């Protein structure tokens, strides 16, 4: 039996179309009021530069209460200002308010001149030079490393190669065990012809890679978000929030071919890092050499770096002081979500203060809503020695 066709309520449809038209007109007016999309606005100064790389030092308006500086290492594939997307959703500003001394690497935009850069160049070269600069200028034998996503993988590798230079290691939504197939990115990368890709492009265009990331969640990332935008298009501040995120998503640097070739073949396809077979330069990376305190943060709903790729690190390192921290959210929520600002940043700050030998901020952190409580919960998740 055929289902009878029911005509929609014409009056209701006309009302909805009228409301949509009103929103679009108002939204167009709102867009004309947007002069610039400001991102990464926390004050900072350029302190070191090498080739495309720039190292910035954030200006501390208050008092530095953690004597060990923190170097933030972001992924090569996206821009580091995600950590300071806007003033009210900024891990950077939050950590500065908790007395941290912060530096951050801007990897820049590779060109054809950089096509032959390798993991060795990025880790034993650029990253090591930044660490040494901070050590020398701050008179610290060791500094803290905080690595994000692929930058967390780099930071873990670096800490295994240079444990004498790292005081504490923080990894955030970073892949280490690439054997999982929980995420589409991991499944695709295992079957990718890295040689054909690199030999064709030499420097892989950022737009090419970004298209791949958008296809991981095609409806949500290509259609739904623009439909949802209609709900905020009349509000200038909410619209700016949306546009800031869009700017970051499509501001994708190209990738040095030789580095990407090795990362895909040795990590995604060979899983050599957890096997103890990854070679960077002339040295083999042994994760057991990570003997400094480790805070390993993963996002429970991460579609880019699934928990199964992050959590195994705690079983592979040589330190007894290792904390596994679960963030209830997704890959991007770790940086810009309200929980990130209220809970994760204070807990991260407290963890670093405790391991720097500084007590000055303890009382403040204990009074920070949610910070200490979340930190205690994460301590209970500490991996067994």
**In degrees to the nearest 10, what's the CA dihedral of 299, 305, 311, 315?**
-160
In a 3-state reduction of DSSP, which class is residue 71? Answer: strand
Q: What are phi and psi of 230, to 5 degrees?
A: -60, -25
- The encoded tokens of residue 16 equal 């909805």
The residue from 66, 149, 259, 267 that is catalytic is 149
Long-range contacts of 208-216 (CB under 8 A, 24+ apart): 209/77, 209/252, 209/255, 210/249, 210/250, 210/252, 212/185, 212/188, 213/185, 213/304, 216/183, 216/184, 216/185, 216/303, 216/304
Q: What are phi and psi of 105, to 5 degrees?
A: -95, 130
149 belongs to the catalytic site? yes
Q: Which residues are CB-contacts of 241 (< 8 A; sequence separation ≥ 6)?
A: 86, 89, 232
- Could you tell me if 58 and 8 are in contact, meaning their C-beta atoms sit under 8 angstroms apart? no
What CA–CA distance (Å, rounded) separates 21 from 31? 15
> Could you give the residue numbers annotated as active site?
149
């Amino acid at each position: 039996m055929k289902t009878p066709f029911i005509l929609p309520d014409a009056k209701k449809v006309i009302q909805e179309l009228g409301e949509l038209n009103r929103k679009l007109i108002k939204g167009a007016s709102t867009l004309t009021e947007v002069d610039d999309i400001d991102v990464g606005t926390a004050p900072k100064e350029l302190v070191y530069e090498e080739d495309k790389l720039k190292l910035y030092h954030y200006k501390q308006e208050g008092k530095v209460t953690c004597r060990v500086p923190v170097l933030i290492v972001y992924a090569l594939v996206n821009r580091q200002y995600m950590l300071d997307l806007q003033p009210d959703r900024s891990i950077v500003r939050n950590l500065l308010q908790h007395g941290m001394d912060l530096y951050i690497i801007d990897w820049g935009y590779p060109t054809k001149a950089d096509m032959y850069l390798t993991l060795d160049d990025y880790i034993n070269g650029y990253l090591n030079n930044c660490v040494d600069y901070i050590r020398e200028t701050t008179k610290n034998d060791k500094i803290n490393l905080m690595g994000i996503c692929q930058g967390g993988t780099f930071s873990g590798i670096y800490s295994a190669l240079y444990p004498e230079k790292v005081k504490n290691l923080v990894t955030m939504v970073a892949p280490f065990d690439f054997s999982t197939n929980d995420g589409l990115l991991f499944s695709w990368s295992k079957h990718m012809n890295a040689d054909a890709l690199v030999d064709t492009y030499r420097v892989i265009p950022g737009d090419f890679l970004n298209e791949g990331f958008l296809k991981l969640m095609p409806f949500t990332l290509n259609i739904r978000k623009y439909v949802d935008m209609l709900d905020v298009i009349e509000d200038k501040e909410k619209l700016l929030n949306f546009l800031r995120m869009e700017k970051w998503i499509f501001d994708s640097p190209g990738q040095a071919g030789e580095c990407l070739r090795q990362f895909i073949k040795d990590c995604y396809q060979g899983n050599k890092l957890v096997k103890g077979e990854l070679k960077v330069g002339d040295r083999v990376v042994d994760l057991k050499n990570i003997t400094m305190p480790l805070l390993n943060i993963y996002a429970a709903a991460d579609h880019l770096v699934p928990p199964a790729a992050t959590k195994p690190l705690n079983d592979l390192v040589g330190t007894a002081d290792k904390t596994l921290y679960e963030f209830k959210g997704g890959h991007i929520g770790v940086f810009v979500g309200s929980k990130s600002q209220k809970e994760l940043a204070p807990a991260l700050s407290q963890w670093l203060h405790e391991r720097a030998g500084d007590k000055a901020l303890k009382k403040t952190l204990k009074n920070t809503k949610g910070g200490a409580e979340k930190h205690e919960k994460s301590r209970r998740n500490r991996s067994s020695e």
